[in-house]
Homo-oligomer: A and B are copies of this chain.
Amino acid sequence: MAMNMESSSNDLVNEVDHVDMLDASFDAYGGVIINIKHDMDENVFTTLLQTSISQWRLQGKKGVWLKLSLELVNLVKPAIKEGFWYHHAEPTYVMLVYWIPETDHTLPPNASHRVGVASFVLNSKGEILVVQEKSGVFKGSNVWKLPTGTVEEGEDISAAAIREVKEEAGIDTDFMEVLAFRQSHKAFFSKSDMMFVCMLKPTSFDIKKQDSEIEAAQWMPVEEYANQPFIKEHNSFNYIAKICIAKKDNKYVGFSPLLTTSATSAKKSYLYSSYQLEQ
């Protein structure tokens, strides 16, 4: 990995010598992070970029990161002409990269997966929360399915499952376990998808369905859900339904979340496993 934003220093390169160069800081991996704060003419940018890269080459620098906001879109074309390529983009910016050495680059890859959740919300009567969606592949099919949704940037899987159930059906829940997960490819352009089947315990019972996305929502015996022809005919859904029934019958153990602290930073993150902590 060639860059770590958290450990980047703020040494200004253009204070090292008195050549006109682009503002930049260095990171712990030999990388340079260009810092453009104001509008810049394309020709001025190209000249400064060429001078700067020559200096950084002499200094033994490797990767060069150039983040261009929508306002700086005029600099995308000159950067590509100088040999930069796209690393990733978000709605408000594009990140371009350049590799100074003659070797193959060792820059970290872009995010490769979207993460989704499907929620198995089981009440004390052995019923689960099921929904019919207004759009998508199941539209108009009368298939009752588990509530699903996409995990948002920076959101925990457990929080996403709780949020989606509340949004789609107005039910409050406690997160219990991840029962299973599925990895699939080419889900979205060339990107892959991870879908976590989560078990949740409801703490409220009156359904208030979301009108914009949900056609219908109800409590249904888990066996009735599993017996729908659509579920039985499809290998992957059928298998997930069997896991849910085994869980209802207390014959299955999934992975529970444990809040841990990262070894290399103070950050908290959840570790999911079926390991029981000794008291």
Contact = CB atoms under 8 A, between A and B. Distances in A.
Interface of A: 1, 5, 29, 70, 73-74, 76-77, 80, 85-95, 108-115, 135-137, 150-154, 156-157, 179-186, 188-192, 194, 230, 234-237, 239-240, 242-243, 246, 252-255, 258, 260-264, 267, 269-275
Contact of A109 (B114, B179, B275): B114
Nearest to A109: B150
A111 to B, nearest CB: 4
Given A77-B77, A113-B194, A252-B275, 20 more contacts: A73-B77, A76-B77, A85-B92, A86-B91, A87-B89, A88-B88, A88-B90, A89-B89, A89-B94, A95-B189, A110-B114, A112-B151, A113-B115, A113-B151, A137-B264, A180-B272, A181-B255, A182-B271, A239-B258, A254-B273
Contacts of A243: 273, 275
The oligomer's copy count stands at: 2
A262 B184 contact: yes
13 contacts: A1-B136, A86-B92, A88-B89, A89-B110, A109-B153, A112-B114, A115-B194, A153-B192, A180-B255, A181-B255, A181-B271, A234-B263, A236-B260
Contacts of A95: 89, 189
A203 to B, nearest CB: 24
Given A183-B156, A246-B275, A271-B180, A261 B239 contact: no
A275 B246 CA distance: 8
Q: Is the interface of A mostly helix, strand, loop or mixed?
A: mixed
A111 B108 contact: no
A77 B74 contact: yes
Contact of A236 (B110, B137, B182, B261): B261
Given A242-B275, A255-B255, A260-B235, A189 B269 contact: no
A252 B154 CA distance: 30
A86 B94 contact: yes
